[in-house]
Amino acid sequence: MKQHIVLSGIASIFLAALVLLVNPASTVHAARAAQCAPIPGTTASTPGYVSGSAYALDLSVGGMIGPIKTGPLFPVTLGCEAKTNQATNGVSSLALQDYINLAALRSDVVISRSANNVKVAEISRVGGLSLFGGMIRADAVTASSTTQGTTFGASSINTSTFFNLIIAGHKFEAAPPPNLSYGIPGVGTVTLNEQTSTSNTPLASDISVTAIDIEMAFPNVLGIPAGGRLRVAHVEGSFVRSPETPIQEPTIALPSSRSH
């Protein structure tokens, strides 16, 4: 989908919420997904149930009448009940004055299956990233994960990558460790490769990954009222052996303290 969104002025952050009118938020409910259909040409069923989701951006800022939230922007979701094996959403660029400039945003969820294996892969890619006037920038950021179930087990892996990521003059490696925290004085705290999981057993597995999670301090040098939170490139996926398997919807955990 070729599309450009450009908003100007500090009010642009608040106006971003209007994007929800054409890109409604969505979430994953793993235990509600229907079992994957039989393999074409056979009556064999897959070993369980999968679902996945991805989105490009989620912004929340403070306001005089309370927080203003965009919700997940350009989201995709896919479960075994879908008649397609792939879902895609994206936008060619997104600009909110000097605060947020992103290019080539794209999210994909792909399901593959066989008689002995069912797998869901999620990818959210953001190219040409520049945040807060270039204070945070990267050639490309990709949040990606894969969850699969087989006849004998289940697993989830995080395969996210960062290409030429620089934060306040500090360059980061292409594959930073999960939940790496970095403080920017006067701005807030950045968590890279944020990863959580609620289940990892032979019967169920899930994972949630956010490439960049920024908690803006209040007050801050950016002039953003009442602080805020910005998430860039998020994916999550899950597998359950049966619909009765207890599994929580993946959520992003907030550590009680972070190093600077």
Closest CA to 72 of 19, 146, 121: 19
Residue 94: both structure tokens together: 């997104």
- Whether 258 is covered by a domain: the verdict is no
Confidence of residue 129 (pLDDT cuts 50, 70, 90): very high
Asked whether 145 and 121 are in contact (CB, 8 A), the reply is yes
- Rounded Cα distance between 77 and 202, Å, is 24
- Whether 260 is covered by a domain: the verdict is no
Asked whether 208 and 236 are in contact (CB, 8 A), the reply is yes
- Whether 255 is covered by a domain: the verdict is no
- The more confidently predicted of residues 24 and 67 is 67
Q: What is the pLDDT of residue 219?
A: 81
Residue 160: both structure tokens together: 């996210």
Residue 191: both structure tokens together: 């968590």
Residue 138: both structure tokens together: 């990267």
Q: Taking the CA atoms of 201, 39, 122 and 74 in sequence, report the sign of the dihedral they define.
A: negative
Asked whether 52 and 81 are in contact (CB, 8 A), the reply is no
Count of domains forming the chain = 1
In this predicted model, what pLDDT tens digit does every residue of 227-250 receive, in sequence order? 789 999 999 999 998 865 544 444
pLDDT at 252 over 60: no
- Whether 250 is covered by a domain: the verdict is no
pLDDT at 31 over 70: no
pLDDT at 41 over 70: no
pLDDT at 23 over 60: no
In sequence order, the 6+-apart residues with CB closer than 8 A to the CB of 29 are 51, 249
- Rounded Cα distance between 27 and 249, Å, is 9
**How many Å separate Cα 254 from the centre of its chain?**
15
For range 11-36, the mean pLDDT: 41
- Whether 83 is covered by a domain: the verdict is yes
Residue 29 sits at the vertex; the CA angle it makes with 24 and 33, to the nearest 5 degrees, is 110
Find the domain containing 124 and state its range. Answer: 4-240
Q: What is the pLDDT of residue 244?
A: 56
- Rounded Cα distance between 91 and 29, Å, is 25
- Whether 231 is covered by a domain: the verdict is yes
For range 136-145, the mean pLDDT: 97
- Whether 44 is covered by a domain: the verdict is yes
Lowest mean pLDDT among 20-24, 108-112, 131-135, 215-219: 20-24
In this predicted model, what pLDDT tens digit does every residue of 66-87 receive, in sequence order? 567 888 999 999 998 787 889 9
- Whether 248 is covered by a domain: the verdict is no
- The more confidently predicted of residues 14 and 125 is 125
For range 17-30, the mean pLDDT: 37
pLDDT at 20 over 80: no
In sequence order, the 6+-apart residues with CB closer than 8 A to the CB of 214 are 131, 136, 188, 189, 190, 191, 229, 230, 231, 232
Confidence of residue 12 (pLDDT cuts 50, 70, 90): very low
